[in-house]
Amino acid sequence: MVETLLDATARVLTREGYDRASTNRIAATAGVSVGSLYQYFPNKEALVAALVARHNRQMLELLRDALKEVASFDLATAIGELVRAAVDAHLVDSALHRIFAEQVPRLGQLAKIDALQQETFLMVRAYLEERRAEISVPDLDSATAICVTAVEALTHEFVINRPEALDGDRDRFIGEVTRLIVGYLRPADGATPRVAAPRRRARTGGL
């Protein structure tokens, strides 16, 4: 019953948006009475919170599976497949992704998103640690945060906000993001990236 109600919640949110969604509409979509719904969830907010939690579990499972699949791949190929997995995950239900992005802060579910991001960080960092000899960036914590944030932000922007840009050209997008990440982790010349020292401004007048 819980899964049926969560599936119905997802359909109603996608079809009508958060503000118009109601427990009555969700119950009707699930084919149960609203009284039956209240035996499992006290209100709409609790349903959405449970849906966010399920979504997070699914995203983490997809990442675990992808990391296992690429364990024996070379770094560039592995990163490409992980980027593809991120795109595929966002494409599973892009309308629901949009609603979560818009409504999660308002619903006070940021803690759940923070937990998802932390789990993602730990898994990706463990993978990069295993490939340490192939990576030129010295600080793995920063490297992990940059890679995870870049892939998530770019994937969300193109899949959720600019889907027309991916029409018929998803492989190109995956290739571009892959080159971005691999180029950061492993510069072409093999040298460790360095940040230039700030230039000293010439002193003029009374400055």
The confidence band for 54, taking pLDDT boundaries of 50, 70 and 90, is confident
Q: How many CA atoms lie within 13 A of 129 on its CB side?
A: 7
> Do 104 and 19 form a contact (C-beta atoms < 8 A)?
no
CA distances from 97 to 50, 158, 162, 171 (A): 15, 12, 13, 21
The percent helix, strand, coil of the chain (3-state, each to 5) is 70, 0, 30
- What span, in angstroms and rounded, lies between the C-alpha atoms of 156 and 172? 16
What is the rounded average pLDDT of the residues 47-62? 86
- What span, in angstroms and rounded, lies between the C-alpha atoms of 204 and 175? 48
The confidence band for 141, taking pLDDT boundaries of 50, 70 and 90, is very high
For the entire predicted model, the pTM comes to 0.76
Residue 126: pLDDT above 90?
yes
CA distances from 105 to 24, 111, 114, 175 (A): 24, 9, 11, 32
Q: Measure CA 162 to chain center.
A: 16
Res 139: pLDDT: 92
Residue 5: pLDDT above 90?
yes
DSSP-derived secondary structure for 26-95 = HHHHHTS-HHHHHTT-SSHHHHHHHHHHHHHHHHHHHHHHHHHHTTTS-HHHHHHHHHHHHHHHHHTTHH
Q: Between residues 101 and 154, which one has the greater pLDDT? A: 154
Give me the CATH topology for the region 1-42.
Arc Repressor Mutant, subunit A (1.10.10)
H helix or E strand, kind and range, residue 119: helix 110-130
- What span, in angstroms and rounded, lies between the C-alpha atoms of 155 and 90? 7
Res 164: pLDDT: 80
Q: What residue spans in the chain does CATH classification 1.10.10.60 cover? A: 1-42
Q: What residue spans in the chain does CATH classification 1.10.357.10 cover? A: 45-185
Compute the Cα dihedral for 26, 31, 35, 36 and give only its sign.
Answer: negative
The confidence band for 105, taking pLDDT boundaries of 50, 70 and 90, is low
> Token pair of 71, please?
């364990």
Question: Into which CATH architecture does domain 45-185 fall?
Answer: Orthogonal Bundle (1.10)
